[in-house]
Amino acid sequence: MKTQKRAPFIVFEGIDGSGKTTQKNLLCRRLSAIGIPVYPTREPTDEKIGRFIRSILSGNAKADNRVIAALFVADRLDHLLSEEYGMLGIVQSGRAVICDRYYFSSYAYHSVDMPMEWVMQANSVAAGILRPDITLFIDITPEKAMERIRKNRESTELFETLARQTAVRGNYLKSFELTKDAENVVVIDGDRPVSDIAEDVWNAVKIYFE
């Protein structure tokens, strides 16, 4: 039997307010418009573990930072392996998965409070199951991101302070350096008009759909 190559797995990363969701939606629309089946998704997920994580992030439940990091690992494995909505099965069935955040978010956010090596180790099972074909990092200064968040959101979550955003951006850059032999990360300047960023995104991903 001829083995079929799986569909592409594309991840958007960036600090809060960087414009990831906007770009993910535009890419999904562009792919759908040319007849490519896509599955848009995000982490934390909208499933049980992801919803519990969101209740912690919004201050409605409490947990130690190590527990939060471990919950993200569990949410990610469920997101990969679920029989119903698992990304692994979806890419294997030929549908492209476009995901807002994946394990680089864990490296960047949780290593504000704990060693990055611990976070990478905790996520190594996910990395072994499904590595993104490409991770698009939408890069923006923390000041600009905070300005957007203040303008557009009524409540700011735990993570959205300037100092934290600055630390998170630094951790992203550090994690890209540490994983450069294994990962394909493209950094895109996010402080430009939406359509210019979308063009760079398209130029980076189109080879996976030729």
Select from 9-17, 57-65, 79-87, 180-188 the region that touches ligand ADP (CB under 6 A): 9-17
Q: Work out how close the CB of 93 gets to ligand TYD at its nearest, in angstroms, rounded to a whole number.
A: 24
3 is an interface residue for ligand ADP by CB under 6 A? no
| 3-state SS, residue 9 | strand
Q: Work out how close the CB of 207 gets to ligand TYD at its nearest, in angstroms, rounded to a whole number.
A: 26
| 116-155 positions binding ligand ADP, by CB under 6 A | 148, 152
Q: Work out how close the CB of 14 gets to ligand ADP at its nearest, in angstroms, rounded to a whole number.
A: 5
Dihedral sign for Cα atoms in the order 123, 16, 115, 59: negative
**Under 8 Å between Cβ of 13 and 172:** yes
CA distance 29 to 134: 18
111 is an interface residue for ligand TYD by CB under 6 A? no
Pairing of strands 9-13, 134-139: parallel
DSSP for 134-200, please give it.
Answer: EEEEEE--HHHHHHHHHHH-SS--TT-SHHHHHHHHHHHHHHHHHTTTT--EEEEE-SS-HHHHHHH
Site string for ligand ADP, 17-56 (x = CB under 6 A): xxxxxx----------------------------------
Q: List the single partner that 101 binds among ligand TYD, ligand ADP, none, CB under 5 to 8 Å by kind.
A: ligand TYD
Select from 104-112, 135-143, 179-187, 196-204 the region that touches ligand TYD (CB under 6 A): 104-112
The tokens of 178 are what? 């540490």
Q: Which residue ranges make up the site for ligand ADP (CB under 6 A)?
A: 14, 16-22, 148, 152, 193-194, 197
